[in-house]
Structure 1
Amino acid sequence: MAISDLTVMRAIREKLKFHEQRQTVLADNVAHSTTPGHRGKDLKAPDFFRIAATGGPTGSATPVRPALTNAGHLPGRVLSTGRFKDETVAGYEVTPDGNAVVLEEQMMKIAENQMDFQMATSLYQRSVGILKTAIGKR
């Protein structure tokens, strides 16, 4: 089994791909911030808890469940994914020429996206480090 076949690694890879594509969309918004009639776009984030729990975006693999290795251990539970509600917020300003891109909003989204990407990259690196330690490669 390759490291890339692990469910957690697959979910982190999907998150990295999402942030890469979102960065492209947000950069396009900034590039068209003076184009008349342009409306800003954004990507809806996939449910990464579901991806991690089911093994992929389509849910093809078996869910990740805690292992009960001792009768004295408490049974674990699978993460619940329905706790948060998506909310769509339109831009607050529209210029007289119909452009609805606010540079301040886009720059904040870009900074947030960059931080999330760096967090996912760090998590991926640490997961690989843990796996290397587990198999004795350090």
Structure 2
Amino acid sequence: MGIMNMPIFTALTDKMRWHQARQGLLAENVANAETPGYQGRDLAQYNFADHLGGGSSATISVTATQPMHISVGGDTSAAFGAQRMNSFEVTPEGNAVSLEDEMMKVTTNMSDYQAVTSIYQSSMKILRTAMGRS
């Protein structure tokens, strides 16, 4: 098995592709912010567990221990497909894109992409060092 075929590297590569696809959708949302009737789109959340083959069967769950805690739940079968966003703000023309929200998503997406590429590069460097290559 080649280094690039290791499950962690394929998952990191998929995550980077997911961020690239999301950046494209967010750019479309910003570009159509003034288009009457336009509904913004976003990708479903990426889940590493869905993309790592084999691995551990251990699971982690979140439990609210106090009644005032926020309950946390999520869709673990998320796919790459684009989905319509739920927006609370709709202009009189029917546009449901908020530029402020979209720019926050763009910034978050960009920093997450940089974090994934950093992890990928560090992992490659560690493996090269372990194999005796610099």
92 and 40 in structure 1: CA distance in 2 versus 1, 3 angstrom threshold: same
Long gaps (5+) in structure 1: 55-62, 66-77
Aligned pair count reads 116
Q: Which amino acid aligns with 2:15?
A: K
Q: Higher relative contact order by CA 8 Å / sep ≥ 6: 1 or 2?
A: 2
Runs of 4+ in 1 over 4 A off after TM superposition: 81-84
Choose from 110, 121, 124 the match for 2:120: 124
Determine if contact 1:47/1:81 at 8 Å carries over to the other structure.
no
Alpha-carbon distance, 1:50 to partner: 2.8
Long gaps (5+) in structure 2: 63-72, 76-83
Give the TM-score normalised by structure 2: 0.79
1:105 aligns with: 101
Larger-gyration structure (1/2): 1
Alpha-carbon distance, 1:91 to partner: 1.3
47 and 41 in structure 1: CA distance in 2 versus 1, 3 angstrom threshold: same
- 1:64 matched to 2:43? The reply is no
- 1:40 matched to 2:36? The reply is no
Q: Which amino acid aligns with 2:36?
A: P
Give the TM-score normalised by structure 1: 0.77
The whole-number CA distance in structure 2 between the counterparts of 1:46 and 1:112 is: 14
The whole-number CA distance in structure 2 between the counterparts of 1:10 and 1:82 is: 25
